[in-house]
Amino acid sequence: MTTDAPHPTADDTPSGYASALAELEQILAELEDDDIDVDVLASRVERAAALVRFCRARLQDAQLKVQEIVADLEDLAANPVAPEGP
């Protein structure tokens, strides 16, 4: 699959996880195509590597946030707030 449209460079930051994943899937499809231009091959592989790093970082951030939330909920369950009464 060869296109004349410019591809994002490795330094271009995706708008989010979903767009990065979609672009990564597109690159993989291009790489599976026997007609890929050798001149763009290295840049597409470089872009794919950047997208993988971006996605991993997003997943790690999400995992940390979830762990913090779960820890807070466990703390609340272990130390319930006494209801205010008359």
What token pair was written down for 65? 């946030």
DSSP class of residue 60 equals H
Average pLDDT over residues 28-45: 89
Per-residue confidence (pLDDT) for residue 86, from 0 to 100: 67
Place of tokens 């820890």: 71
Label residues 64-76 b or e (16+ Cβ within 10 Å = b). Answer: eeeeeeeeeeeee
Is the pLDDT score of 2 beyond 50? no
Alpha helices (H) along 1-86: 17-32, 38-78
Is the pLDDT score of 35 beyond 60? yes
Q: Per residue in 6-27, pLDDT tens?
A: 677 767 889 999 999 999 999 9
Q: Rounded CA gap, 82 and 43, in Å?
A: 60
Average pLDDT over residues 56-74: 96
